[in-house]
């Protein structure tokens, strides 16, 4: 499957494989446990028990697999860079789950039957005592707790819902923060300088030399003089440097310079990139004429900066003034760093405006502009071939006339053939121009960008601070419009895709469960456990000291398919007990929950054990996967505990509602019959 989908074996695909390994054994556990149950309780041979187990548990196992697939498939709907990052996870999980069905229905029964040949083999002492103590706990304290939960079913639901609301409150109150994407530790640092317009090349080179010296001093400081931290560094005069091609070269000129430094791989160094950047910044001694100094490291994951405010309008001077004010607001945000605006001054410009006298002579803006271009750049008179080459004949003014700074002396030819100087027919104004002017949807646009520390503040919170600080007032003051771009836009698109995917997953799961249980209401008893996974996810992030990310949200969607697996098997067993009972449904509910304690625990523990090791991964490049593993491990652990008490309570509440409806409609129909 990975070969067909052009995927590679990497951290993401291996994470999906580890997750799938914990899930695929669930089906084998259900079949194997029920086979042992039939052999011990019903006295069947191993061959008979294996065959009957596959027949009985086949529909629940298939539905469990389908619901898990239905939960993972919507992850394919996530577009953009985030979608490309996690695409390997659903691919691997779905492929492994489909392959596991072949093993469960055709290979596992043969293994169980073969195992039955040694069924008379004496049980070990450890297993005998363990099974005895487990059965004592299951039929004693656990059965009493389930009975208590069913008897106090409304209180059980109230407590569960209270825990869910408490988890939502922890996120809303900031106890558990949220950042869009937790970027891995960077190994590259950029240092850029922008000098004031008119600064000489030698001054820029002097500042660049100081920036490079500060880089080496910072290395010596953070390594206690040992060095070896910087593997490579390069300085460039004439342009700034960036990991984003759209940000790097912004009108190359002598007022710009930059340095890129590659550090030792994150796992091989003890100095963190943020500490190194702080040291580098503090070591820089500024040179006169410095307009902007930016030292930052690129962020992995989705494109764009943490903060990206865009101003749109027609007047460049107003855009520049507004951008400088917004830049001050962005710099005031806690933990903001590397703040820049991309409407920078470039070379000096000459603005030529024709006079009424020029118009009276028949001159136009086009004709004067055409003659100025020909005077400064020359005009191509003709081209002719000479051997294998083409010769271009260009007519131009003498070099001493072109190199002069006073373009007002350039002679202009009127339509009547007369010669006049440019100053006689036009006014020439000197002003600073902009190196690059960007447009978006036909409007001139300037971007104010910056980075944030995810441990301090999230992007939505930072943008809210900027808005409250007066962003709208600045836009109204200069008659401009504004919008947010960068990771904020990526976040909005990802959440929109995630919402559509989650809705599709829930509808698919409901349809599958309706088919399995042949009921429109029974699936609700299974799906009611899905929201409670949030309790475990929030608890896990709080205990582990983690920040929730977009990957945590994706894990919650995937967890929906895993969580219902235990509920499906439990509800199927309780339903069978209710059919076998003589109308004592409450006893059947308690007995069904008691009988499924072992497989419910085993199916959850296998997945938890498979992913729990990732929660303690020390590799800095794999840190962004830890919130995803934490969500599944803690979410599954909490829902496993709740499913044994909440699902029986929900089924009991369903019986209460059924009795109420029967009572109401029974009286209604009896009155109708009496009236007739």
Mean pLDDT of the chain: 81
Q: What kind of fold does domain 11-181+490-673 have according to CATH?
A: Multidrug efflux transporter AcrB transmembrane fold (1.20.1640)
Residue 259 confidence (pLDDT): 92
What is the pTM for the complete model shown? Answer: 0.70
DSSP string, 319-382: HHHHHHHHHHHHHTSTT-EEEEES--EEEEEEEEEE-HHHHHTT--HHHHHHHHHHHHH-EEEE
High-pLDDT (> 70) share of the chain, %: 92
367 vs 365: CA distance, rounded Å: 6
Q: Is the pLDDT of residue 249 over 50?
A: no
For the stretch 74-125, pLDDT in tens is: 777 777 777 777 778 888 888 888 888 888 888 888 877 776 555 555 566 7
Residue 144 confidence (pLDDT): 92
CATH 3.30.2090.10 domain span(s) along the chain: 350-434
Average pLDDT estimate for 128-139: 85
Candidates 24, 4, 186; CA nearest to 105 is 24
251 vs 345: CA distance, rounded Å: 9
CATH 3.30.70.1430 domain span(s) along the chain: 184-298
Average pLDDT estimate for 403-410: 70
* Of 121-135, 143-157, 165-179, 540-554, minimum mean pLDDT range: 121-135
CATH 3.30.70.600 domain span(s) along the chain: 305-344+438-485
Architecture of domain 305-344+438-485: 2-Layer Sandwich (3.30)
Average pLDDT estimate for 605-627: 77
Candidates 554, 334, 337; CA nearest to 458 is 334
pLDDT band, residue 64 (cuts 50/70/90): confident
The angle formed by the CA atoms of residues 435, 441 and 447, to the nearest 5 degrees, is: 45
Tell me which residue has tokens 């400064």: 376
Q: Is the pLDDT of residue 528 over 60?
A: yes
Candidates 565, 561, 459, 554; CA nearest to 499 is 554
Contact between 120 and 45 under an 8 Å Cβ cutoff? The reply is no
Q: Is CATH 3.30.70.1430 the right assignment for the domain spanning 184-298?
A: yes
For the stretch 303-332, pLDDT in tens is: 677 888 888 888 888 888 898 899 889 888
300 vs 186: CA distance, rounded Å: 7
CATH number given to 350-434? 3.30.2090.10
CATH 1.20.1640.10 domain span(s) along the chain: 11-181+490-673
450 vs 336: CA distance, rounded Å: 6
What angle do the packed helices 585-595 and 550-580 form, to 10 degrees? 130
Q: Is the pLDDT of residue 245 over 60?
A: no
676 vs 479: CA distance, rounded Å: 77
Residue 667 confidence (pLDDT): 61
Q: Is the pLDDT of residue 248 over 70?
A: no
CA torsion sign, 621 to 627 to 629 to 633?
A: positive
Average pLDDT estimate for 380-399: 82
Residue 260 confidence (pLDDT): 92
Residue 381 confidence (pLDDT): 83
Q: Is the pLDDT of residue 34 over 50?
A: yes
CA torsion sign, 402 to 405 to 411 to 415?
A: positive
């Amino acid at each position: 499957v990975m070969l067909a989908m052009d995927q590679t074996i990497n951290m993401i695909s291996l994470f999906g494989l580890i997750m799938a390994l914990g899930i695929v054994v669930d089906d084998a556990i259900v079949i194997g446990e029920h086979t042992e149950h039939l052999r011990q309780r019903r006295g069947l041979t191993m061959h008979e028990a294996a065959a009957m187990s596959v027949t009985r548990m086949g529909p629940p196992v298939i539905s469990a697999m389908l619901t898990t697939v239905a939960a993972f498939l919507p992850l394919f709907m996530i577009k953009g860079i985030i979608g490309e990052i996690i695409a390997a996870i659903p691919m691997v999980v779905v492929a492994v789950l489909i392959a596991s069905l072949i093993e469960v229905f055709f290979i596992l029964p043969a293994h169980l039957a073969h195992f039955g040949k040694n069924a008379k083999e004496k049980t070990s002492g450890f297993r005998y005592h363990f099974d005895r103590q487990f059965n004592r706990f299951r039929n004693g304290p656990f059965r009493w707790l389930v009975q208590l939960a069913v008897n106090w079913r409304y209180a059980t639901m109230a407590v569960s819902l209270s825990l869910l609301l408490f988890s939502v409150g922890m996120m809303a109150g900031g106890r558990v923060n949220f950042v869009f994407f937790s970027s891995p530790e960077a190994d590259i640092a950029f240092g850029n300088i922008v000098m004031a317009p008119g600064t000489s090349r030698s001054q820029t080179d002097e500042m660049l030399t100081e920036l490079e010296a500060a880089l080496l001093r910072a290395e010596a400081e953070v390594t206690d003089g040992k060095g070896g931290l910087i593997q490579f560094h390069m300085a460039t005069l004439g342009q700034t440097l960036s990991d984003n091609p759209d940000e790097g070269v912004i009108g190359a000129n002598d007022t710009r310079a930059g340095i890129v430094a590659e550090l030792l791989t994150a796992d091989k160094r003890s100095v963190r990139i943020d500490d190194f950047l702080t040291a580098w910044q503090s070591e820089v001694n500024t040179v006169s004429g410095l307009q902007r100094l930016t030292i930052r490291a690129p962020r992995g994951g989705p494109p764009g900066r943490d903060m990206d405010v865009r101003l749109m309008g027609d007047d460049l001077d107003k855009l520049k003034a507004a951008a400088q004010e917004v830049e001050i607001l962005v710099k005031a945000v806690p933990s903001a760093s590397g703040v820049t605006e991309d409407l920078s001054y470039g070379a000096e410009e000459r603005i030529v405006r024709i006079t009424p006298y020029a118009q009276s002579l028949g001159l136009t803006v086009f004709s004067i502009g055409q003659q100025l271009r020909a005077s400064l750049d020359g005009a191509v008179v003709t081209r002719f071939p000479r051997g294998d080459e083409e010769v271009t004949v260009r007519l131009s003014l003498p070099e001493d006339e072109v190199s002069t700074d006073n373009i007002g002396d350039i002679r202009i030819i009127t339509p009547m053939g007369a010669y006049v100087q440019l100053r006689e027919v036009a006014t020439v104004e000197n002003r600073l121009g902009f190196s690059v002017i960007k447009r978006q949807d036909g409007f001139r646009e300037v971007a104010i960008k910056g980075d944030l520390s995810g441990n301090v503040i999230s992007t939505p919170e930072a943008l809210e601070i900027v808005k409250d600080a007066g962003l709208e007032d600045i836009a109204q003051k200069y008659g401009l419009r504004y919008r947010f771009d960068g990771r904020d836009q990526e976040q909005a698109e990802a959440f929109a895709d995630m919402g559509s995917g989650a809705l599709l997953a829930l509808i698919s799961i409901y349809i599958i469960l309706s088919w399995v249980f042949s009921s429109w209401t029974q699936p609700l008893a299974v799906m009611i456990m899905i929201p409670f996974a949030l309790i475990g996810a929030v608890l896990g992030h709080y205990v582990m000291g983690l920040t929730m990310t977009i990957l945590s949200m994706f894990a919650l969607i995937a967890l929906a398919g895993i969580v219902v697996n235990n509920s499906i098997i439990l509800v199927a067993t309780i339903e069978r007990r209710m059919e076998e009972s003589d109308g004592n449904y409450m006893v059947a509910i308690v007995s069904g929950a008691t009988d499924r304690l072992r497989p419910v625990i085993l199916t959850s523990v296998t997945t938890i054990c498979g992913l729990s090791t990732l929660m303690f991964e020390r590799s800095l490049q794999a840190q962004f996967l830890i919130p995803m593993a934490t969500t599944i491990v803690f979410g599954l652990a909490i829902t496993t505990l709740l499913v044994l008490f909440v699902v029986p309570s929900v089924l009991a509440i369903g019986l209460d509602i059924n009795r109420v409806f029967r009572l109401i409609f029974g009286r209604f129909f009896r009155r109708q019959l009496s009236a007739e």
